[in-house]
Amino acid sequence: MTLYYASGSPTAELTLEDLRAALFSVLEQLGPRQRVLALPPDITRRHSQAGPLTTMAYEYYGDRLVDVMPALGTHFAMTGEQLSQMFGDLPQELIRVHRWRQDVVTLGNVPAEFVGEVTQGLWTRPWPAQMNRLVAHGGHDLILSIGQVVPHEVIGMANYNKNLFVGTGGVAGINESHYISALWGIERILGQADNPLRRILNYAERLFCRDLPVIYVQTVVGSRRHLPGGEEPTDLDDEPVVRGLFIGDDPECFERAAKLAVEVNFQFVAEPVKKMVVYLEPEEFHSTWLGNKSVYRTRMAIADGGELVVLAPGVRTFGEDPEIDRLIRKYGYRTSPEVMRFVEENADLAANLSAAAHLIHGSSEGRFRITYCAGQLAREEIESVGYAYGNLAEKSQRYRPRPIPDGWHTMQGGERYYFVGRPAIGLWAHRSRLPN
Last residue of a domain, one of 230, 250, 265: 265
Which whole number is the average pLDDT over 15-24? Answer: 97
Collapsing DSSP to helix, strand or coil, 321 comes out as: coil
Domain range enclosing 237: 3-265
- Regarding whether 195 and 121 lie in a shared domain, the answer is yes
Rounded to whole angstroms, the maximal C-alpha distance in the chain is 65
- Regarding whether 378 and 293 lie in a shared domain, the answer is yes
Inter-CA distances, 328 with 172, 324, 358, Å: 18, 6, 9
pLDDT for 74 equals: 82
- Regarding whether 304 and 245 lie in a shared domain, the answer is no
Q: How far apart are CA 217 and CA 146, in angstroms?
A: 5
Which whole number is the average pLDDT over 292-303? Answer: 96
pLDDT tens, residue by residue, 34-85:
999 999 998 878 889 999 999 999 999 999 999 999 999 888 888 999 999 9
Which whole number is the average pLDDT over 307-331? Answer: 95
- Regarding whether 369 and 317 lie in a shared domain, the answer is yes
Whichever domain contains 332, its CATH number is 3.90.226.30
Q: How far apart are CA 95 and CA 392, in angstroms?
A: 35
Q: Tell me how many helices (H) and strands (E) the chain has.
A: 18, 18
- Regarding whether 343 and 235 lie in a shared domain, the answer is no
Q: Check: CB of residue 69 under 8 Å from CB of residue 94.
A: no
Last residue of a domain, one of 222, 247, 265: 265
- Regarding whether 213 and 87 lie in a shared domain, the answer is yes
pLDDT for 233 equals: 46
- Regarding whether 258 and 209 lie in a shared domain, the answer is yes
- Regarding whether 292 and 153 lie in a shared domain, the answer is no
> Of 7, 6, 5, nearest to 27 (Cα)?
5
Q: How far apart are CA 130 and CA 108, in angstroms?
A: 8
- Regarding whether 305 and 282 lie in a shared domain, the answer is yes
In 137-204, which ranges are E strands? 142-148, 151-152, 156-157
Q: Is the pLDDT of residue 237 over 70?
A: no
Q: Which pairing describes strands 104-110 and 127-132: parallel, antiparallel, or unpaired?
A: antiparallel
pLDDT for 413 equals: 83
Whichever domain contains 223, its CATH number is 3.40.50.11440
Which whole number is the average pLDDT over 200-220? Answer: 96
- Regarding whether 226 and 282 lie in a shared domain, the answer is no
Q: Is the pLDDT of residue 235 over 60?
A: no
Residue at 19: amino acid letter: L
Last residue of a domain, one of 265, 287, 309: 265
- Regarding whether 203 and 298 lie in a shared domain, the answer is no
- Count how many domains the chain has: 2
Q: Is 0.85 topped by the overall pTM? A: yes
- Regarding whether 25 and 153 lie in a shared domain, the answer is yes
